[in-house]
Structure 1
Amino acid sequence: MTWVIILGIAGAVFAIMASVLRMPRAGWEITGAALLFGIAGYALQGHPDMPGAPKAAVENQKVADAELIKQRQQMGAQFGKGQSWLIVSDALTRAGQYRAAADFLGRAVQDNPRDADLWVALGNALIGHSEGMISPAAQFAFRRAAQIDPNHPGPPFFMGLALAQSGKLNEARDMWVGLLRRAPADAPYRPDLVARLARLDQIIAMSNGGTVPEATPSATTPQPLPKAAPTR
Structure 2
Amino acid sequence: MGWLILILIAVEIAAALILLRVNRVLRSMVGAALMLGAAGYAWQGSPMLPASGARPDAIRLADDPALVDLRERMLGRFTADAAYLTASDAMARAGDQRSAVRAILGGLNRYPRSVMLWTALGTALAAHDGNQPSPPAVFAFDQAIRVAPLHPAPHFFLGLARVRANDYAAARAEWARALALSPRGASYRRDIAVRLMLIDRLLAEQGR
Taking structure 1 as the reference length, what is the TM-score of the superposition? 0.58
User: Could you tell me whether the CA contact under 8 Å between 1:105 and 1:122 is conserved in 2?
Assistant: yes
Higher helix proportion (structure 1 or 2): 2
* CA–CA separation in structure 1 for the residues paired with 2:193 and 2:85: 26
1:84 aligns with 2:83: yes
> Within 5 Å, which residues of 2 pair with 1:10-21?
none
Displacement after TM superposition at 1:64 (Å) = 4.9
Change (3 A) 1:118 1:171: same
Specify the alignment match of 1:197 in structure 2.
Answer: 196
> CA 1:88/1:106 → structure 2, altered by over 3 Å: closer, same or farther?
same
1:94 counterpart letter in structure 2: R
Q: Which has the higher contact order (CA 8 A, sep 6+)?
A: 2
CA distance in 2, matches of 1:152, 1:96: 29
Equivalent residue letter for 1:165: R
Bigger Rg, structure 1 or 2: 1
Q: Which runs of 5+ in 1 are unaligned?
A: 1-62, 212-232
Aligned to 2:120: 121
Equivalent position of 1:96 in the other structure: 95
Deviation string 1:161-212 (CA, Å, 9 cap, x unpaired) is 111222322221122112212311221221221111111111111111xx6x
User: Is the contact made by 1:160 and 1:173 (CA closer than 8 Å) also made in structure 2?
Assistant: yes
Report whether the alignment pairs 1:153 with 2:152: yes
In structure 2, distance between residues paired with 1:68 and 1:102: 18
Distance 1:182 1:165 in 2: 22
Distance, in Å, in 2 between the alignment partners of 1:129 and 1:68 is: 18
Distance of aligned partners of 1:166 and 1:64 in 2 relative to their CA distance in 1, 3 Å threshold: closer
Name the structure 1 match of 2:9.
none
- Rate the CA distance shift 1:203–1:64 in 2: closer, same or farther, 3 A: closer
2:68 aligned partner: 69
CA contact (8 A) 2:91 2:100 kept: yes
Provide the rounded CA distance (Å) in 2 between the counterparts of 1:116 and 1:158: 12
Matches within 5 A, 1:1-232: 64-208=63-207
Cα pair 1:159 1:172 within 8 Å, conserved: yes
| Count of equivalent residues | 147
Residues of 2 paired with 1:203 and 1:115: CA distance? 33
Structure-1 separation of matches of 2:93 and 2:191: 20
AA aligned to 1:86 is L
| Deviation for aligned residue 1:159 | 0.6
Q: Secondary structure at the match of 1:184?
A: coil
Cα deviation for residue 65 of structure 1 reads 4.3
Distance 1:202 1:64 in 2: 17
The answer to whether the 8 Å contact 2:126/2:133 transfers is: yes
- What is the letter of the counterpart of residue 95 of structure 1? A
What CA RMSD, in Å, does the superposition of the two structures yield over aligned residues? 2.0
Q: Spell out, residue by residue over 1:34-74, the C-alpha distance to the aligned partner (whole angstroms, 9 max, x if none).
A: xxxxxxxxxxxxxxxxxxxxxxxxxxxxx954432222211
* Change in CA separation of 1:153 and 1:94 when aligned onto 2, cut-off 3 Å: farther
Instruction: Give the match's secondary structure for 1:88.
Output: helix
Once the two structures are TM-superposed, the CA of residue 81 in structure 1 deviates from its matched residue by: 3.2
